[in-house]
């Protein structure tokens, strides 16, 4: 969709709001934060499109209260759960009719599947797994920043010709939008045309993951860095995390050395976390790692190097031997737990 043959201008910022079992998910509110900032810079409106069936009015209204100017909900029983072909067909119809300038989705399983397929169908560009978005002042083009070359650098990408400019955004890379009293907007409910709902794929079932706590969902994350020296010392980190009802994260060095598995990795080449409490144990604080945890509410760092980069963003820094500090913290937590029954 490089040029509009009718010269109808592309305008407006759109997000793909996701629903599960009819309820709007967290990623939708994170995208509202991103989309609202872009829309304000462009002095345009923010629209959330959502596909599903019988989505509660309160959930749609909540998107308005949290930053959207308009909600377009296209509904049919066939859209209750995600299938790429009907979702893409419905999205393409809305894009052709409304012609947004920017379309954002989460880099979730839904976004990662839908957006590439949709981009091909409508001949648009797509930048995947963005960690930062901005508007170029001179051109009003979308600046899409993402990790590249194994997470060692950040690349900023533009799509100056094709519209809409499309990007998926890494989950937990920003805070969900907060409600604002007095916000109003338009909610449009549309019945999905039957000819758009066919699919060559059939959903036969769903089995939830039985993995241990997802670090992206944890309110407390204790992260092991290279300073723990060897894999056997992960047990010390795990014990501290358990006492705090938290999850164990890892720096890239720890994963590369085989001390922990990739699902624990935090950083540009791993996951982005936004816990209420992040504790870095032996973490130096590379730029790549900080990009994955820098938006944590509270950051505590334990490192024997007073010049470690992690101390630049830490709210509390403990300079010393982690093998002396962590056991003391663990002991004190056990004592406190015992006293409280």
Q: Is residue 34 part of a domain?
A: yes
Q: Is residue 206 part of a domain?
A: no
Q: Which of 2-11, 39-48, 229-238, 330-339 has the lowest average pLDDT? A: 2-11
Q: Is residue 6 part of a domain?
A: no
Q: What is the pLDDT of residues 208-251, one digit of tens each?
A: 665 555 788 889 999 999 999 999 999 999 999 999 999 999 99
Q: What is the pLDDT of residues 280-326, one digit of tens each?
A: 999 999 888 988 888 898 999 999 999 999 999 999 999 999 999 99
Q: Is residue 202 part of a domain?
A: no
Together in a domain, 23 and 162? yes
CATH number assigned to the domain comprising residue 82 = 3.40.50.620
Q: Which of 3-17, 42-56, 57-71 has the lowest average pLDDT? A: 3-17
Together in a domain, 144 and 225? no
Domain count, the chain: 2
Together in a domain, 232 and 266? yes
Together in a domain, 124 and 244? no
Together in a domain, 178 and 38? yes
**Count of H helices and E strands in the chain?**
8, 17
The residue with tokens 């913290």 is 329
Helix orientation angle between 234-243 and 322-339, rounded to the nearest 10 degrees: 30
DSSP letters along 284-319, please? ---HHHHHHHTT-SEEEEEES-TT-GGGGT-SEEEE
CATH number assigned to the domain comprising residue 287 = 3.40.50.1220
Nearest to 247 by CA among 226, 271, 228: 271
Count of Cβ atoms closer than 10 Å to residue 232 Cβ: 9
Structural domain for 190, as ranges? 13-196
Together in a domain, 240 and 186? no
Together in a domain, 192 and 270? no
Count of Cβ atoms closer than 10 Å to residue 35 Cβ: 28
Together in a domain, 301 and 254? yes
d(CA 128, CA 114): 12
Where among 196, 229, 251 does a domain terminate? 196
Whether this prediction's pTM lies above 0.85 is answered by no
In the chain, % of residues over pLDDT 70 = 94
Together in a domain, 154 and 264? no
d(CA 184, CA 287): 40
């Amino acid at each position: 969709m490089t040029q509009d043959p009718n010269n109808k201008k592309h305008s407006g910022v759109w997000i793909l709001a996701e629903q599960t079992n009819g309820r709007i998910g967290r990623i939708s509110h994170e995208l509202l934060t991103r989309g609202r900032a872009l829309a304000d810079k462009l002095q345009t409106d923010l629209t959330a499109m959502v596909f599903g069936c019988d989505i509660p009015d309160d959930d749609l209204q909540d998107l308005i209260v949290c930053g959207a100017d308009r909600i377009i909900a296209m509904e049919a029983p066939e859209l209750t759960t995600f299938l790429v072909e009907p979702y893409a067909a419905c999205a393409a119809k809305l894009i052709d009719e409304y012609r947004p300038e920017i379309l954002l989705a989460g880099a979730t399983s839904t976004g990662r599947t839908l957006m590439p397929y949709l981009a091909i169908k409508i001949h648009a560009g797509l930048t995947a797994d963005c960690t930062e978005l901005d508007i170029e002042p001179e051109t009003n083009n979308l600046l899409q920043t993402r990790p590249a070359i194994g997470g060692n650098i950040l690349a900023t990408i533009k799509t100056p010709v094709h519209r809409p400019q499309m990007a998926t955004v890494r989950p937990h890379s920003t805070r969900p939008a907060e409600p604002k009293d007095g916000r109003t907007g338009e909610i449009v409910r549309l019945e999905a045309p039957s000819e758009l709902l066919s699919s060559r794929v059939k959903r036969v079932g769903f089995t939830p993951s039985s993995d241990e706590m997802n670090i992206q969902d944890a309110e407390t994350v204790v992260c092991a860095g290279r300073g723990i020296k060897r894999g056997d010392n992960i047990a010390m980190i795990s014990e501290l995390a358990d006492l705090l009802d938290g999850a164990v994260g890892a720096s890239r060095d720890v994963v590369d050395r085989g001390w922990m598995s990739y699902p624990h990795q935090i950083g540009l080449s791993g996951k982005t976390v936004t816990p209420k409490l992040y504790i870095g144990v032996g973490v130096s604080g590379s730029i790549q790692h900080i990009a994955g945890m820098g938006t944590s509410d509270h950051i505590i760092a334990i490192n024997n190097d007073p010049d470690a980069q992690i101390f630049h963003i830490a709210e509390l820094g403990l300079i010393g031997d982690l093998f002396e500090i962590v056991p003391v913290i663990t002991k004190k937590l056990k004592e406190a737990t015992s006293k409280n029954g």
